[in-house]
Copies of this chain bind each other. A is one copy, B any other.
């Protein structure tokens, strides 16, 4: 049963509210004897950290992670790894006015209807602040995957403006504040996003996540298919409204012959593919090709432009959200998307090993 846990064998449980004393997670099922220290985790948190540019929320959180258990003399022990980050820059007074009112597009109303109570401060549990722990856990997942599996993400669309894929440069991604792989698009987007912020508005985005080097065979059909688990992982990120694998929705418009990823044998017994429309997953199982997924993030719901809402007492109210917010939550969703894909892959790697101890690590034929 997962309310606040993710994964089965490599299992992460998170806790904490946006304006509580701390947030944290427990990583359970991590294999023993992997080198791990805070310095392995901190860089990923730093990429997601708020307050780093004019394009994200101005909340200042150092997001310094501490490992409280599960590591002995720099090595994982196989016991649960507790990670914790203390919250520092809570300015809950900004949120007094939303204590009793429900912001359109937010989880305020649904938490109230579900639980009859909510910690309104900064969105409480529903805040994207929780995703810091996903990024931290994702860093541990990368250790499980090992150096041969590379998980990266980039923003490929801001509002209705897409990158030009012929300009794709992974090196550019960390060189701009929008994780954009196309330098020309990055320049356009920055201008556009500042204008939206100034107008008190917000923008949506599409993120692409890619894992290279993942072995074939990952995925537990029928009901924990790799792509189904990726879909849940990405759709579960705050503000995400769509997920696709490989060609995704565009695949619906292809003919069967165009969609076929033809195969031929390489010199060394490796299976070579002519294309990757499938995004690295067939029948819910990885092929050994790059795993490619995209997810759509809606525009930030917290905006300064007044909208019609309701309050706890059943009255109509006008809502304009103060506090510090991201004009495009899609930006900080980039490292979160990476982390979620790493978590799914690490979990499936352990699951695959359990049932198939002699499984090959490459798509090579004949199998045995």
Nearest CB on B from A81, distance (A): 7
Nearest CB on B from A133, distance (A): 10
Contact B235 A282 (CB under 8 A): no
Q: Which residues of B contact A277 (CB under 8 A)?
A: 105, 298
Q: Which residues of B contact A104 (CB under 8 A)?
A: 260-263
Q: Output the residue of A5, A16, A285, A354 with the most chain B CB within 10 A.
A: A354
A248 contact from B4, B75, B77, B242, Cβ within 8 A: B242
- Find residues 280-298 in chain A having any chain B CB closer than 8 Å to their own CB: 281-288, 296-298
- Find residues 126-159 in chain A having any chain B CB closer than 8 Å to their own CB: 126, 130, 157, 159
Contact B357 A357 (CB under 8 A): yes
Proximity bits, A200-239, B CB within 8 Å = 1, else 0: 0111111000000000110111111101111111111010
Q: Which range contains the number of A residues in contact with the other chain?
A: 35 or more
Contact B235 A242 (CB under 8 A): no
Instruction: State whether the Cβ of A109 lies closer than 8 Å to any Cβ in chain B.
Output: yes
Instruction: State whether the Cβ of A124 lies closer than 8 Å to any Cβ in chain B.
Output: yes
Can you tell how many copies of this chain the complex includes? Answer: 4
Instruction: State whether the Cβ of A337 lies closer than 8 Å to any Cβ in chain B.
Output: no
Q: Which residues of B contact A186 (CB under 8 A)?
A: none
A283 to B82, CA, bound (A): 21
Q: Which residues of B contact A68 (CB under 8 A)?
A: 15-16, 20-22, 24
Contact B235 A228 (CB under 8 A): yes
- Find residues 1-49 in chain A having any chain B CB closer than 8 Å to their own CB: 1-6, 8-9, 11, 13-17, 20-24, 26, 28-33
Contact A9 B1 (CB under 8 A): yes
Given that A29-B3, A271-B109 are contacting pairs, would A77 and B125 also be in contact in the complex, using a CB cutoff of 8 Å?
yes
Instruction: State whether the Cβ of A63 lies closer than 8 Å to any Cβ in chain B.
Output: no
Contact A20 B69 (CB under 8 A): yes
Contact B354 A307 (CB under 8 A): no
Nearest CB on B from A110, distance (A): 4
Contact B264 A310 (CB under 8 A): yes
Contact B365 A259 (CB under 8 A): no
A51-59, A111-119, A164-172, A174-182: which lies at the B interface? A111-119
Contact A126 B221 (CB under 8 A): yes
In the complex, 12 of the A-B residue pairs with CB atoms within 8 angstroms, ordered by the A residue number, are: A1-B29, A6-B223, A9-B355, A15-B28, A30-B355, A33-B116, A105-B259, A113-B287, A113-B288, A114-B219, A114-B352, A255-B299
